[in-house]
Chain A
């Protein structure tokens, strides 16, 4: 079955440290991949998306993600964490229709400490 897995439901980093949030998918066809961010008591906001144009994708707020087909991964990174990055992050995948129907991972709560 096609699915998406986020490793680590909670990640804690120090301010200024590297952020790495993991996402793996299983699919027999190339998927469309997305990262969304959810700040407390808000809806989800698109951070970035992969649609086969380039394997390294840059998004908003300094985040980027690299599509690695051999590892079936789409990990989210940011070189230097800021307190304002504290939020929940969701990886999502679409196997058909270019992202018109999404399957979400279970989310990773990012905590940024001083």
Chain B
């Protein structure tokens, strides 16, 4: 049981380049999330998907697109990278336990845009 996996672990892009961050979970969870983590700002939600076929914007969606390919996979795309998108990106999935949800996080992707 690998949990939540993310690829790549590290990436360096030039301004204007595009890339897709991949995320997969093998826990059969319905909901999946993309966050970015910046120093002193905690984690901020970019997009989430409550179930296969649905996606919704979070707090900081500008400059990003997502695809919920199937129940397992949720990808994040940067169409034209900007230095402001230098960050650590975390994917998570969640399961309902009792009357609340618990989120499980991947190891992160460290992205630098020059």
The interface of chain A, by Cβ under 8 A from chain B, is 9, 32, 41-46, 49, 51-53, 90, 94, 97-107
- Our count of residue pairs bridging A and B at CB distance below 8 angstroms stands at 66
- Bound together, the chains give a CA A41 to CA B10 distance in angstroms of 11
Q: By the criterion CB–CB under 8 Å, are A106 and B40 in contact? A: yes
Residues in A neighbouring B96, C-beta threshold 8 A: 98
Residues in A neighbouring B107, C-beta threshold 8 A: 41-43
Digitize B89-108: 1 where CB-to-A-CB distance is under 8 Å, 0 elsewhere: 01010101011111111111
- B4: nearest chain-A partner, CB-CB: A43
The interface of chain B, by Cβ under 8 A from chain A, is 4, 31, 35, 40-45, 48, 50, 58-59, 90, 92, 94, 96, 98-108
Q: Which residue, of A52, A101, A107, has the highest number of chain B Cβ atoms within 10 A? A: A101
Q: By the criterion CB–CB under 8 Å, are A46 and B40 in contact? A: no
Q: By the criterion CB–CB under 8 Å, are B100 and A51 in contact? A: yes
Q: By the criterion CB–CB under 8 Å, are A99 and B103 in contact? A: yes
Q: By the criterion CB–CB under 8 Å, are A104 and B106 in contact? A: no
Q: When the two chains form the complex, which single residue of B4, B31, B44 contacts A104, counting CB atoms closer than 8 Å?
A: B44
- A106: nearest chain-B partner, CB-CB: B42
Q: By the criterion CB–CB under 8 Å, are A102 and B103 in contact? A: yes
Residues in B neighbouring A97, C-beta threshold 8 A: 101
